[in-house]
Structure 1
Amino acid sequence: MSLRRRTLIAAMPALALATPLHRAFAADPRLSPRLIGNPKAPVRVGEWFSLTCTHCAHFEMTVFPEVKEKLIDTGKIAYVYHDFPLDQIALLAAMLARSLPEDRYEPFVNSLLSSQDRWAFAPDINPKDQLQRMAALAGLSADQFHKIDQDDTLRQALVNQQDDDQAKYNIGGTPYFRFNNNPYTEELETFEAFNEQVQKAGS
């Protein structure tokens, strides 16, 4: 099931139509940027992704390992994750990831994307139950999981941020990339294609 050009959280009317919550979320560390690599690198790459997007999972498994090895770990780029959940399960997964200590965010996201076919789309499974099991492996207790699941303030904050990003960048699907200020909306199937955009942004 491809989610790349799926309508953006059309299945979230309860949040969209609810009484608006205050947007004063700046003090919440869970909403701070999730960045890996050199924050002073000349090229900053932003990825907007959904944890139930199959194209995002494909990129994570086939291209990102080389990006991390050759560009992130060497300090050539700063890589910033932007949550852009396409459904309620992806939104809960993003909430869980952001509730972990910052140094566990990227490994947890990597784990969810690389095993997406087993927890999100496998037949005869409950994705929420699978998320709870994976969250437990990441260090979240059952009580913490349920507290996060019931945290409508965090849920609304992530939806608000997604709405702001959509209005600003007109994101048509995931994954969506920006290399410095240069948008890239096509699929990046190889490290070479990714690195070409890095070189263009840094020139």
Structure 2
Amino acid sequence: MPCHIRFGATLNVHRPIAFVVLVAFASLVLAGAAMAQSTIAANVAKPVSLPDMAIGSEKAPVTITEYSSMSCPHCAAFGQNVFPMLRSKYIDTGKVRFVFREFPLDIKAAAASILARCISKGDSEKYLAAVELMFKLQDRLMTQTKDTLIYVGKQHGMSEEDVKTCEEDQAQFDKLSNDQQYAHRELKVTSTPTFFLNGVKLQGSMTFEELEERITPLLKK
């Protein structure tokens, strides 16, 4: 008897057992995936070295955490073209809480992040305003970093000496580095922008329509 026919006969005999095993295996896989996703969500929500810069209701059903670099053109495009619509429709209406975290791709981006922190003094709105300005001046920030940082600082009431003192705060740079290493190690962030929607990772630039498509089902739960 041909081998494939014998195999078919054997398979038919054990089909009920095989089906049960497959169902059990699938259940384990789904449970494992759910547990892994739960772990990622918990790791995203953990406090990091630097205080989170967040806006929106803490009771919002959706939390978006963005990892961004001041030197990233895609991050600047998101900040200028997508974020205002996201804020108007979802953040200011209490549906989304937005958390901005730094993931500097180079020392210039790190310096810009530290300046935004100094400008804000813990105020998320002041922080985001500084970030917005630096995104608008991104080309200049990359080619004339020191002068641009001084300019941005002055626009927010800082003297040149204040900016210099801010940029020499090694403790802040160390915290920034620690947070970046945590994001890379625990959350597998490797590029910017990277978003987490209620813990689900979305990597790369997104249009408002693409983001809204992801948000809408979460609001219905």
Q: TM-score range by the shorter chain?
A: 0.7 to 0.9
Q: Which residue of 2 aligns with 1:160?
A: 178
How far apart are the structure 2 equivalents of 1:163 and 1:201?
29
Displacement of 1:119 in angstroms is 2.8
SS at match of 2:63: strand
Asked whether the equivalents of residues 89 and 128 of structure 1 are also in contact (C-alpha less than 8 Å), the reply is no
The higher-RCO structure (CA 8 Å, 6+ apart) is: 1
How far apart are the structure 2 equivalents of 1:40 and 1:167?
28
Q: Which residue of 2 aligns with 1:196?
A: 213
Pairing 1:72-87 to 2, within 5 Å after superposition: 72-87=91-106
Q: Which residue of 1 aligns with 2:142?
A: 120
Q: Which residue of 1 aligns with 2:148?
A: 130
How far apart are the structure 1 equivalents of 2:141 and 2:113?
14
Displacement of 1:74 in angstroms is 1.2
SS at match of 1:63: helix
Render the CA deviation track for 1:163-182: whole Å, top value 9, x for unaligned: 01110111121000000111
SS at match of 1:48: strand
Matched, 1:105 2:127: yes
SS at match of 1:81: strand
Residue segments in structure 1 that go unaligned for 5+ positions in a row: 1-24
Q: Which residue of 2 aligns with 1:96?
A: 115
Displacement of 1:184 in angstroms is 0.5
How far apart are the structure 2 equivalents of 1:58 and 1:83?
16
Displacement of 1:81 in angstroms is 0.4
How far apart are the structure 1 equivalents of 2:102 and 2:86?
19
Residue segments in structure 2 that go unaligned for 5+ positions in a row: 1-47
TM-score (norm 2): 0.73
Which of the pair is proportionally richer in helix? 2
Displacement of 1:198 in angstroms is 1.4
Pairing 1:36-55 to 2, within 5 Å after superposition: 36-55=55-74
